[in-house]
A and B are shown apart, each in its own frame.
Chain A
Amino acid sequence: MFEARLIQGSVLKKMIDAIKDIVTDINLDCSSTGISVQAMDSGHVCLVLIELGSDGFEPYRCDRNITLGLGLKALSVVVRCANNDDSITIKAQEGTDNINFVFESPNGEKTSQFEIKLMDIDSEHLGIPDTEYDSVVKMPSHEFQRICRDMSQLGDSIVVACTKDGIQFSASGDMGSGKINLRQSSLVDKEEDQINIELNDPVHLTFALRYLNYFTKATPLSPTVTLSLKAESPLCVTYPIGDFGSMKFFLAPKIDD
C-alpha cells in the first residue's frame, strides 16, 4: 500500500506545470524515505530530478518500494480539478494498475476522487555524479526568470560567466546584443531577495535559452533559485520545495565548434 497526503495540494499543481513542457511521462519512485522522479527530455539535453522527503506528507505510508508510471497529460487534467487550498492524497494498492487522487477542502466539506491508469514507462536512470561546482549562485527566482525571458529576445543562447566581479548573462543575435551583470548583494531586507555568489573558480558556459525558459516555469515553487556551474559540465538549476524537497534541472552546455 502506498499513501501520501500533501496538505498544500497547490505544490503538486505547480510541480506538474513546471515539467509538463519538458517531459510527457514520469515514474514516481516511492520508498519509505519519500518520492523521487527522474525524467529526461526526448532530445537527451536536459533532465528533471524531483526529490520529496516523506516528512513533507502527513500521513506517508509506503510498505514496499513501488514505481508508479504516469502520463503527465492525465495527471495535469486531474490535478487541475483540485482547488489551490485542497489537500491532495495519492494512493496506490499493490497489484492494481490504477492510482487514486483524493482532494479535500480545508473544512472537509468537499472531497473529490479521481483515478488514473498507470503506465509502464521505460526510462533510463542516469547516474548523476557528485560534483564540486566552480560557482554556485543563489538569486531571486523571478530575477532569473526575467533574465532568461529578456535574453531570449536577443538570441537562442545565453553565455553565463562568473568571476570575482559577479555573474554576467549575455546574449547576441542579428538584432544586437545585451549583457546583464549581478553582484553579490550587501544589505537586503528579505533573505529571498539576496544574491549570493560562491566562487571557487571563474567559469564561462553557454546554454540554450529554450530549456532555461522551460525551467523557469518552476518559479512559482520557490522565491529563490540556485545555479550551480562547472566548466564544460551540465548546469544545475535548483528550486527548493518547502523545506522537504527540491526540483532540479540539469542542462548540457553548448560546446564550441
Chain B
Amino acid sequence: KGTQASLMSFFGK
C-alpha cells in the first residue's frame, strides 16, 4: 500500500 517516494524529490543537490 502506497508508493515509495524517492529522497531525491525532497532533498536538493
Residues of A within 8 A of B (CB): 40, 44-47, 124-129, 157, 206, 208, 233-234, 250-257
Contact = CB atoms under 8 A, between A and B. Distances in A.
A45 B12 contact: no
A contact face: mostly helix, strand, loop, or mixed: loop
Contact of B13 (A46, A126, A206, A208): A126
A40 B11 CA distance: 12
A240 to B, nearest CB: 22
Contacts of B12: 126-127, 129
B1 to A, nearest CB: 6
Interface residues of B, number: 13
Given A126-B12, A234-B10, A252 B2 contact: no
Contacts of A254: 1-5
B7 A208 contact: no
16 contacts: A40-B7, A45-B5, A45-B6, A45-B7, A47-B7, A47-B11, A124-B13, A126-B12, A126-B13, A127-B13, A157-B1, A250-B7, A251-B7, A252-B9, A252-B10, A254-B5
